[in-house]
């Protein structure tokens, strides 16, 4: 047996398992870097240079808060939010998560079907604007009673604002809300 024949002494199954393990480690590391970088890309794209805060005048939460078809907006950057003062003291900017109340399951479904720039997604961690409907997605398994106990309504919609132009996001939300 020569030096080149040593690999034959190791069972093929062991070599296969080693290769599989290396592939899994590589995939896990790639996934972790991807998730980490997606979050940083989002923050860097939305933050005003030098200030570390969002431009409230063009942020979709302010638009939604003024919209007549939106029953309620939950966003710590709005002065009428119950923890606005606390958020102002503790945060630099108020984040990219907005929750709104459309009033009914029918309204939420109509709105979600009409979106073009914003995408429906159960995971809200991307750099693109993603929207979820907790009652039929993330919290569906709780049942109506369980959701009601924790404040999740059928008309509730959650938005993770992405790096698209704020005007494009607002126009998309406006045309989608027109369907409700």
Higher pLDDT, 66 or 10: 66
Q: Domains of the chain: which residue ranges? A: 3-46, 56-177
Mean pLDDT of 27-55: 53
- Between 18-22, 104-108, 164-168, 176-180, the lowest mean confidence (pLDDT) is in 18-22
Q: What is the pLDDT of residue 93?
A: 78
pLDDT of 143 strictly over 60: yes
CA torsion sign for 140, 142, 143, 149 is negative
Phi and psi for 97 in degrees, rounded to 5? -95, 125
pTM of structure: 0.70
HEC assignment per residue over 52-110: CCCCHHHCHHHHHHHCCCCCEEECCCCCCCCCHHHHHHHCCCCCCEEEEECCCHHHHHH
Write the class of the CATH domain 56-177.
alpha beta
Tokens standing for residue 146: 């369980």
Q: What is the pLDDT of residue 36?
A: 58
Largest distance between two CA atoms of the chain = 83
pLDDT in tens, 64-106: 999 999 999 999 989 999 999 999 899 887 888 999 999 999 9
Question: In the chain, pLDDT over 90 holds for what percent of residues?
Answer: 51
């Amino acid at each position: 047996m020569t030096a080149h024949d040593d690999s034959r002494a190791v069972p093929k199954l062991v070599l296969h398992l080693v290769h599989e393990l290396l592939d899994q480690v590589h995939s896990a590391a790639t996934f972790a870097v991807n998730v980490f970088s997606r979050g940083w890309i989002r923050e860097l794209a939305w933050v005003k240079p030098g200030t570390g805060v969002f431009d409230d005048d063009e942020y979709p939460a302010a638009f939604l808060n003024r919209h007549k078809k939106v029953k309620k907006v939950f966003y710590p950057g709005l002065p009428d939010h119950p923890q606005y003062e606390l958020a102002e003291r503790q945060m630099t900017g108020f984040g990219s998560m907005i929750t709104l109340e459309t009033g009914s399951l029918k309204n939420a479904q109509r709105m979600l079907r009409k979106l073009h720039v914003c995408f429906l997604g159960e995971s809200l961690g991307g750099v693109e604007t993603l929207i979820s409907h907790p009652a039929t997605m993330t919290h569906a398994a709780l049942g109506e009673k369980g959701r009601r106990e924790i404040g999740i309504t059928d008309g509730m919609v959650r938005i993770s604002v992405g790096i698209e132009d704020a005007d494009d996001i607002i126009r998309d939300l406006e045309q989608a809300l027109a369907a409700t």
